[in-house]
Amino acid sequence: MHLFTSINMSIHAFIVRKLSDVDPDAWNILVGDVQPCLRHEFLNALETEGCLGAKVGWMPYHLVLEDDAGTLLAACPAYLKSNSFGEFVFDWMFADAYARAGVDYYPKLVIASPFTPATGSRLLIHPEYGTPDLAHRLMDLVVEVVGQTGISSAHWLFTVDRTLIDSPRFLQRLGYQFHWNNPGVRTFDEYLSTLTAKRRKEIKRERRMVAEAGVELKRQRGDQVPPALWDQVYELYCLTFARHGNYPALSRRFFHTLARTMGHNILLVTGHRNDALICMAYFLTGTDCLYGRYWGATEEVPALHFEACYYQGLEYCLETGLQRFEPGAQGEHKISRGFLPTPTWSVHWIAHPVFRAGIADFLERENQSVERRISGLMALSPYKSIDPTCSED
């Protein structure tokens, strides 16, 4: 950890190149139990188990604020990026514009959890010092770092921080994912009762298809999964990426380490036929939300992906009282299964004034288009009308 600047006599700013240099308990006080993908255990495992580094273009560059006593007051989990892979907020057009003008877009600063399109706070503030002033100091620090180091830009991805989203100082970019929010039901049958008759029948049919294929599903907490099964999970994870021609950034050691250090925040769904593992779905759990992350299967079984990745997750939410379910990025097929288009936000600071003006103009038009798209997708909602005459099965 080295000193970058001093904001005033009592608060000091640092850049941290290894999260292991930060006390885990102090970091987790900032994160809380809501955001598992920002906990020290998760981010540190990415660093120590070979998932980050120059080879993938994610270099740790965390920004922290401390008082004179060394108390960690606030932080941004940040990374220097030499590409735009693994972010899920696509800015290739910005990089192309910079390249055509002969200006470097990389490195840029990304404030997010690597490879994880989960929404949450990106301005991590100690709960006992949670004043707007600290949030603004973090924002000022990011701008200062960009200006003094020659970094092209800073990007807070999937943020829910209203201080950022509402700030006229930065550029806001609207996106959307498909999320489930509990409409006030307690069982899966009650959940089905909120859907149209057509969708209820289709979901029941899909679940029946999996059962008739002889596949049995099992849910386990991460710290209850034997090491040998984690090896199989890792192989299925790699298989999915290989089928799509993508690079599997997470290492085998990462899965084992996370199971050991924060297994209580992991839900693993496995599918078996005659005791043979044929699929897995990997989730992270917070205090109010389930986050779907990874999927893999050895064979194509009709509707198995929907069962393992969506219906098992919904059942888990209902059994444990989780009120939200973010099953991952993209996928309009999620709408018919009860996941509605939900606005997401990224916030950007572009150092170059000409590019900042051009990107601002682009985002204004893009955001309007995304608003229209969200509105159109909402029309595909599978939920029944509030009209009491709506038909039943």
Interval 160-174 mean pLDDT? 97
Give yes or no: residues 227 and 251 share one domain: yes
332 occurs within a structural domain = no
Long-range contacts of 233-236 (CB under 8 A, 24+ apart): 233/268, 233/270, 233/280, 233/282, 233/296, 235/296, 236/277, 236/279, 236/280, 236/296, 236/297, 236/298
* CA distance linking residue 264 with residue 108, whole number of Å: 34
HEC string of 55-69 equals: CCCEEECEEEEEECC
Cis omega (within 30 of 0) for bond into 183: no
**Amino acid residing at 284:** L
In a domain, 393, yes or no: no
Q: Quick one: tokens of 337?
A: 């299964």
Q: Which of the four pLDDT bands, split at 50, 70 and 90, describes residue 240?
A: very high
Same domain for 100 and 209?
no
Q: Does residue 319 have a pLDDT over 60? A: yes
Q: Are residues 366 and 264 in the same domain?
A: no
Residue 124 has pLDDT above 90, yes or no: yes
d(CA 358, CA 362): 6
User: Are both 134 and 193 inside the same structural domain?
Assistant: no
Same structural domain for residues 19 and 126?
Answer: yes
Tell me: the pLDDT tens digits for 340-393? 999 999 999 999 999 999 999 999 999 999 999 999 999 999 998 743 334 444
For the chain, count helices (H), then strands (E). Answer: 12, 16
* Residues 222, 294 within the same domain: yes
**In a shared domain, residues 170 and 188:** no
Mean pLDDT of 113-141: 93
* CATH number where 284 lies: 3.40.630.30
CA 171 to chain CA centroid, Å, is 20
97, 238: one domain: no
**Span 196-220, mean pLDDT?**
97
Same domain, residue pair 148 and 189:
no
Which range of residues forms the domain containing residue 117?
A: 2-176+342-378
Looking at the fold, whether 254 and 148 belong to one and the same domain comes out as: no
Number of domains in the chain: 2
In 3D space, the residue among 266, 280, 258 whose CA is nearest the CA of residue 221 turns out to be 266
Whether residue 51 is predicted with pLDDT greater than 70 in this model: the reply is yes
User: Does residue 328 belong to any structural domain of this protein?
Assistant: no
Which of 275, 291, 322 is the last residue before a domain boundary? 322
The percent of residues above 70 in pLDDT, for the chain, comes to 95
Cα–Cα distance between 297 and 277 in angstroms, integer?
A: 9
**203 — alpha (psi -120 to 50), left (phi > 0) or beta?**
alpha
Is 334 part of any domain? no
Residue 116 inside a domain? The answer is yes
121 and 201, same structural domain?
no
Report the distance separating Cα 265 and Cα 13, nearest Å.
Answer: 31
**Whether residue 129 is found in the same domain as residue 226:** no
